[in-house]
A and B are shown apart, each in its own frame.
Chain A
Amino acid sequence: MTKYIAKRLIMSILTLFAIIFVLFVLIRIMPGNPFPVERMSAEMILQKRLELGLDKPILVQFADYMSMLMHGSFGNGTSLYNGAPIKPIMLKCLENSFKIGVLSILFGTLVGLVIGIVAALNRGKFLDGLCTIISILGVCIPSYVFMIFLQYFFSYKIPLFPYFFDPSKFLSSAVMPALSLSLFAISTVARFTRNEMVEVINSDYVKLAEAKGLYGFQLIRRHVLRNALIPIVTVIAPLVVDLLTGAMVIEKIYGINGVGKLMVDAIAGQGVDYNYVLALGIVFSSLYIGVMLLLDILYGIIDPRIRLAAKDG
């Protein structure tokens, strides 16, 4: 087990390093320059370049950046209107996004599990059809569209929740974004759970357990759920990624100060802020790779076959 974890860990760190290197090089070799030409003279730009160390060879710059990163700093933003250190802003945004993201993943997985289990136990009946409809809706309606509707009906028509995100009233203003973000998770998890459960319910060992006299909740908990839940772990990783994408638009719509909004501002605002793009790219990539690593390890713990296969291969 330790060997398996170590192997995965080293692989992830190498991948992350490669990604950071590629991002860094891509951003540095970019044509054009990061400063507004119309507002700065050539000398000012030259001076600014010296200040930021942009005149050094690219590998030296990369080494400098990495050592800065190791000390937990992302440097400053490039643009004139936002040249402040990135880290404090990033931390604040991460906190907001993280809270809402975790809420929606938890809510989505739980509700999805319940719906999937209910559907599998009532397969072919009305509740099963309802579950299918919910999961289809979740797949074909993007989360931000759902968010727009929620905002229109429950903040504008009926002022139940704040119209824009308000950090001082976190709970009531987190309801709508978390709900709309969890829609996709609900539908994916519900669909997957249902299919897995139906497969397990039809398997021989469940029939044997039934023949032994086990029934009801005992049977579901001890025999069906344990085996049906293993593959569900795999769908959660892509969910986290979708969450990042969905959060980007939802944060824009709802005015949440989160990493998604930061990213939108960095690429779609006035002029692209290179250092923000780089910093956000690093944060997103490490988040994604971290989640993948965690799930791989979790998967190895739940299902010994995986780590045995990894040992052989």
Chain B
Amino acid sequence: MNMEKNYTPQKTDFEFISGRNIDVDTNFASQGYWRGVAVHFFRNKFAVTGLILVCAIMIFAICAPLVSPYSYQEIISITGENGKEIVAKSLPPQFAGENQNLFADKTFIFGTDDMGRDLWTRTWQGARVSLIIAFVAIFIDMLIGMSYGLISGFFGGNIDNVMQRFIEIAGSIPTLVIISILAIFMDKGIGLVIASLLITEWIGMSKIARAECLKLKEREYVLASRTLGAGSFHIIFKQILPNTIGPIITQVMFSIPVAIFTEAFLSFVGVGIVLPQCSIGSLIEAGFNNITILPYQILPPICVLAILMLGFNLIGDGLREALAPKLEDM
């Protein structure tokens, strides 16, 4: 509105356009859909912050265990004067050459835990495990939920009815109950965490896919495709699916922190990752057990967890806004 008022006509406005761009209306030049989304996304300060945070954590999670002089399950020890082994148990954070203790030449950025393992390496190894679990579980969830939702929405009628009743029942079983049943059937460990994520998280995904599909299947291009003789599955997966990808990716971004949280929660309770493997949750649990004596141990995993949750939530928010920009933001 203001722009129109303040706009002062320029001389060039009244001249004929000549040259190469003669057939392009520069005022309403078409912009690719994904380009528009990207522009909106990167203009959003919060979303970019989230992206940077998540990328930083991912880089650390990938590189730190590789570069670190210790492995995540290695118990650091030196041989003392009388041939006895001395383990670097529960050392506070230190840099090489800073202290005068027995391990003065070693750097422990986050200190060591009560078994004598380097917490810096363990924290990033844990972040890596948590991220892998989240990505794998949510990716499979996406595939299942998307197919289920699209098929249910596309065929409609009785198929839709049956499939939706099933979801209604499956969705009204609390996650905790599902996890407890799984804990009976399976051994503790990564498998249990991924399985419980697989069973619980696809429902939200399928609801979104179904809603999108209901909207899209009435569109002309679907009709055109059908007229040309395309089969249902071609239409669902080749025509409709690419157009539902935006909302689904947004949902994925919101599901990943849920997955990370679930993993942390399960490992904390004691049915998740088992030693000597580590994850964010098991590190928090270990830190919690020693909190009164060694309070610094719990901070790194908690910070990584909080940053990951924050980062993914910010990215999700940014994506949602970028995919469906409100008129005022344009």
Contacts and interface: CB of A to CB of B under 8 A. Distances in A.
Contact of B305 (A145, A241, A288): A145
A152 B310 CA distance: 23
A281 B182 CA distance: 12
A35 interface: no
If over half of B's interface residues share one DSSP class (helix, strand or loop), that class is named, otherwise mixed; here it is helix
Interface string A224-238: 000000000000000
26 contacts: A15-B169, A19-B173, A136-B313, A139-B309, A139-B313, A140-B307, A142-B261, A142-B305, A142-B309, A144-B265, A152-B295, A241-B174, A244-B176, A245-B265, A252-B269, A263-B176, A263-B180, A267-B180, A267-B271, A277-B180, A277-B184, A284-B174, A284-B177, A285-B173, A285-B174, A288-B174
A214 interface: no
Contacts of A274: 184
A148 interface: yes
B223 interface: no
Nearest to B295: A152
B71 interface: no
Contacts of B180: 263, 266-267, 277, 280-281
Interface of A: 15, 18-19, 23, 26-27, 30, 136, 139-142, 144-145, 148, 152, 156, 241, 244-245, 248-249, 252-253, 263-264, 266-268, 272, 274, 277, 280-281, 284-285, 287-289, 292
**Interface size bucket, B side?**
35 or more
Contacts of A284: 174, 176-177
Nearest to A288: B174
Contacts of A281: 177, 180-181
B284 interface: yes
Interface in B143-202: 168-169, 172-177, 179-181, 183-185
Contacts of B179: 267
B139 interface: no
A1 to B, nearest CB: 22
Given A272-B184, A277-B181, A244 B309 contact: no
A289 B172 contact: yes
Interface string B289-300: 001100100100
B174 A244 contact: yes
Contacts of A18: 169
Contacts of B172: 15, 19, 285, 288-289, 292
Most buried by A among B168, B173, B257, B261: B173
B265 A140 contact: no
B302 interface: yes
A268 B309 CA distance: 26
Contact of A145 (B175, B284, B307): B284
Given A245-B265, A284-B177, A285-B172, A136 B310 contact: yes
Interface of B: 168-169, 172-177, 179-181, 183-185, 257, 261, 264-265, 268-271, 284, 288, 291-292, 295, 298, 302, 305-307, 309-310, 313
Contacts of A268: 183, 269-271
Contacts of A152: 291-292, 295
Contacts of A245: 175-176, 265
If over half of A's interface residues share one DSSP class (helix, strand or loop), that class is named, otherwise mixed; here it is helix
A152 B295 CA distance: 9
A87 to B, nearest CB: 19
Contact of A148 (B291, B309, B313): B291
A171 B95 CA distance: 46
A277 B271 CA distance: 14
B251 to A, nearest CB: 15
A135 to B, nearest CB: 10
Contacts of B185: 26, 30
Contacts of A26: 181, 185
A139 B306 CA distance: 9
A201 to B, nearest CB: 14
Contacts of B269: 248-249, 252, 264, 268
Contacts of B169: 15, 18-19
A287 B176 CA distance: 12
Contacts of A136: 310, 313
Contact of A140 (B168, B268, B313): B313
Contacts of B174: 241, 244, 284-285, 287-288
A248 B262 CA distance: 12
Contacts of A23: 177, 181
A283 to B, nearest CB: 9
Most buried by A among B180, B181, B307: B180
Contacts of A277: 180-181, 184
A30 B270 contact: no
Contacts of A292: 172
Contact of A142 (B183, B265, B292): B265
Contacts of A139: 309-310, 313
Contact of B175 (A142, A241, A289): A241
Nearest to B182: A267
B133 to A, nearest CB: 16
Given A23-B181, A277-B181, A285-B172, 10 more contacts: A27-B184, A139-B313, A140-B306, A156-B292, A267-B184, A280-B180, A284-B176, A284-B177, A285-B174, A292-B172
A277 B288 CA distance: 26
A190 to B, nearest CB: 15
